[in-house]
Amino acid sequence: MAWWNLPGLATLFDLVCPPRCALCGVDLPAAGDGPLACAACGGAISADAARCGACGEPGRADACRCRGQCGDWDGIAVLTAYGDDVRGQVLRAKRPAGDAVAVALAGLLVAKHHDTFAAWRIDTVVPVPMHWRRRLTRGTSAADVLAATVARRLGLPRRRLVRRRRSTPMQNELPFDDRRDNVRGAFVASRGAAGRRILLVDDVTTTGATLAECRRVLVEAGASAVYAAVVARADRGGAEARLT
């Protein structure tokens, strides 16, 4: 048995270095295996209006304008709307020092939608890829950390089955109507996607163009189903996703 798995050692470590909420810094009673977020932060971020499970827009699925059909993915799970408080946490998660924030947000995402993920019968978790030059500049990829945490909490493998083969301007810098053209042809999927039921993970979606293009190449590579999961959705008529 590895020394860090010795009985009682985790408890002793918690006493010496109490776990803290990754979002607000308050002490947590114990690390456990739950999200690294206190009850107040978890409750505030997880509280969101009912959303259509097909397109992700606010409202009940039976009353949604998409009528339960979305050609961009087979289903979507959203943790929360993209507002000012969530924006700050997402921006923190995009920096190397904010990996713990990404882990906490992913834990809340799984806690909220665990039953949905089980019903989707997912067998592989895939992050939306960042171009290598942008990752080198930032020092981390929030989507990769999110996907790794979601996969671990669901007991599933995380695989990088999509690669970004060309750098593109940031989506939030473009008008809505230009975003699909911006990412068209920017991704390529591995043949390892064939036959898999995939959960595609990202931090924020606005128009869904990036998720849709990743889903398109995965389906072309033979994926049998591609679902999406995001921390936040910037709804039209709400806060615009302006990430830096």
pLDDT at residue 30, rounded to an integer: 66
Choice between 178 and 103, residue whose per-residue pLDDT is larger: 103
Q: pLDDT class for 11, splitting at 50, 70, 90?
A: very low
Mean pLDDT of 85-95: 92
| DSSP for 165-203, written as a single string | -S----GGGS-GGGHHHHHTT-EEE-GGGTT-EEEEEEE
Choice between 84 and 25, residue whose per-residue pLDDT is larger: 25
Cα three-residue angle 191-193-197, rounded to 5 degrees: 165
pLDDT at residue 194, rounded to an integer: 98
Q: How far apart are CA 99 and CA 122, in angstroms?
A: 24
Q: Of all residues in the chain, what percent carry a pLDDT higher than 90?
A: 58
Closest CA to 49 of 40, 35, 61, 41: 61
* For residue 85, pLDDT beyond 50: yes
pLDDT tens, residue by residue, 179-199: 766 677 789 999 999 999 999
Choice between 12 and 135, residue whose per-residue pLDDT is larger: 135
Cα three-residue angle 149-14-106, rounded to 5 degrees: 15
Token look-up 């990404």 returns 102
Q: pLDDT class for 9, splitting at 50, 70, 90?
A: very low
Q: How far apart are CA 170 and CA 183, in angstroms?
A: 10
Choice between 166 and 126, residue whose per-residue pLDDT is larger: 126
pTM for this prediction: 0.85
Burial group, residue 161, by CB count within 10 angstroms (0-12, 13-18, 19+):
buried
pLDDT at residue 169, rounded to an integer: 60
Mean pLDDT of 197-209: 94
Q: How far apart are CA 104 and CA 117, in angstroms?
A: 18
* For residue 203, pLDDT beyond 90: yes
pLDDT at residue 10, rounded to an integer: 43
pLDDT tens, residue by residue, 18-45: 688 999 999 887 656 667 899 999 999 9
Render the burial of 128-141: b for 16+ CB within 10 Å, e for the rest.
Answer: bbbbeeeeeeeebb
Average pLDDT score over the chain: 85
CB atoms within 10 A of CB 44: 15
pLDDT tens, residue by residue, 213-233: 999 999 999 999 999 999 999
pLDDT at residue 112, rounded to an integer: 96
Q: How far apart are CA 130 and CA 231, in angstroms?
A: 17
In order of their start, the domains of the chain are 17-233 (3.40.50)
Closest CA to 36 of 153, 127, 155, 129: 153
Q: Give the CA distances from residue 4 to residues 8, 88, 180, in Å, rounded to whole numbers and listed in that order.
A: 10, 33, 47
pLDDT at residue 3, rounded to an integer: 39
